[in-house]
Structure 1
């Protein structure tokens, strides 16, 4: 569970659980989990991040598979944790972090690559456009896996987003430290989203959706943001 999901968007976590349980899998939520340390690492607090890595490894050491509805958090676990431990001189922690990282997946990766499904039985009668988030696109290289899942959703019209691979401007603390640039990037992203005529903009990261959704709300636009997990968890029975 990511920090943003836990604190601000709990429905995303619930939807992830509902989806995986519907597909026949047991979902365990370790109550002791905390931030993965991505925020600390990306803002230069490496020493503090190492302790979060240690805690993360302890909490998830016995898990068969770790899944997160976030490309950025999955990217942090897989590409930062072991390096942080090694930089701190803790090779034992680095090896343990690598073991957990090898079992960690972003949601669309788990569904398509590990579980081998693209049709999850979802029903979502709306016009939807998809924004590929930077970490999922460039760090994890999830490619078209989210689109493969969305194309199988019954009742949905999937609309292509112009310049989809362009960053929305969030970038964590980038949006705070470089607000004018971030706002300009967001304006471009919103223009493309609204140009599709979509009712819903979706993505695999709550952070990007928070940024885009906040901008759309300030414009009083009819388009809303919905996480990929929520769309995939939706069924005809739920809609009725």
Structure 2
């Protein structure tokens, strides 16, 4: 299968290792991977912040960049949810029937990584090896809009060497919410404090999730407390094999440092 990678602007600018890990994983599973270098922001930040008009050119560009893709896969439940759920609403708001038709069709071919592996490829064991104690945070968009369900947990349970520990109050938001954390910092920080305490209570070495935005937020909180707990994207765990497992702790540390520098 030819798979087009939808690498979000956050990943492209701050966490490129996640996109590289996803590419390695999909190639290891025998698929052809393509990355369109013309892609830019999907427009989510603009649209969700109230700049719907400014988001429309980005939406149209995304459609143009991925129009001929057989299937589109991203390491972000948030951005995939925007494409599938809000692109049609944006087209309706703009009164553009042609755009509505195109985004509706495009949304049917756009997937978050874990749901693609489980629901489309029907793969539960990707041959990963990751000898660490890990807890999983289900991000809001993936859980509530995409309804990926237990797909990430199923994949993690089949990673050799990994000890998966349940995260208390896992359904609670971490408080990032894109520009929500900027416009409502006190509320966001309070929500983060609860999430960080839950993560630390598990005794896990690291917290994983399907969105680097949430991991950046959580990782910053963990780092400021000098908790010793890192964060790592699900794609990086699934791409890890026994031959490269020694570098996994470096990956955790690198992302934690990145999160701390930004927060």
TM-score (norm: length of structure 1): 0.99
Which among 198, 203, 207 is matched to residue 201 of structure 1?
207
Structure-1 residue corresponding to 2:105 = 99
Give 5+ residue unaligned stretches, structure 2.
1-6, 247-263
Structure-2 residue corresponding to 1:163 = 169
Give 5+ residue unaligned stretches, structure 1.
none
Deviation at 1:44, TM superposition (A): 0.6
Identify which range, 125-134 or 46-55, moves more after superposition: 46-55
Task: Measure the CA separation in 2 of the matches of 1:4 and 1:135.
Answer: 16
Structure-2 residue corresponding to 1:45 = 51
Which among 221, 243, 247 is matched to residue 237 of structure 1?
243
Task: Measure the CA separation in 1 of the matches of 2:203 and 2:93.
Answer: 48
Task: Measure the CA separation in 2 of the matches of 1:165 and 1:86.
Answer: 31
Cα-to-partner distance string for 1:96-136 (whole Å, 9 max, x where unaligned)? 11111110000001000000001000000000000000000
Task: Measure the CA separation in 2 of the matches of 1:17 and 1:195.
Answer: 33
User: Secondary structure of the equivalent of 2:138?
Assistant: coil
**1:173 corresponds to 2:179:** yes
The 5-angstrom pairing of residues 14-25 of structure 1 reads: 14-25=20-31
Task: Measure the CA separation in 1 of the matches of 2:41 and 2:191.
Answer: 27
Deviation at 1:22, TM superposition (A): 0.3
Deviation at 1:181, TM superposition (A): 0.7
Structure-1 residue corresponding to 2:121 = 115
Deviation at 1:238, TM superposition (A): 1.1
**1:133 corresponds to 2:139:** yes
Cα-to-partner distance string for 1:191-215 (whole Å, 9 max, x where unaligned)? 0100000001000000000000011
Deviation at 1:73, TM superposition (A): 0.3
Task: Measure the CA separation in 2 of the matches of 1:89 and 1:185.
Answer: 38
Deviation at 1:3, TM superposition (A): 1.0
Deviation at 1:85, TM superposition (A): 1.3
Alignment root-mean-square deviation, CA: 0.6
User: Secondary structure of the equivalent of 1:108?
Assistant: helix
Residue-pair matches, total: 240
User: Secondary structure of the equivalent of 1:80?
Assistant: helix
User: Secondary structure of the equivalent of 2:34?
Assistant: coil
**1:27 corresponds to 2:33:** yes
Task: Measure the CA separation in 1 of the matches of 2:55 and 2:108.
Answer: 19
Cα-to-partner distance string for 1:59-84 (whole Å, 9 max, x where unaligned)? 00010000000000000000011211
Cα-to-partner distance string for 1:118-169 (whole Å, 9 max, x where unaligned)? 1000000000000000000101110000000000000000000000000000
Task: Measure the CA separation in 1 of the matches of 2:161 and 2:72.
Answer: 30
**1:70 corresponds to 2:45:** no
Structure-1 residue corresponding to 2:155 = 149
TM-score (norm: length of structure 2): 0.90
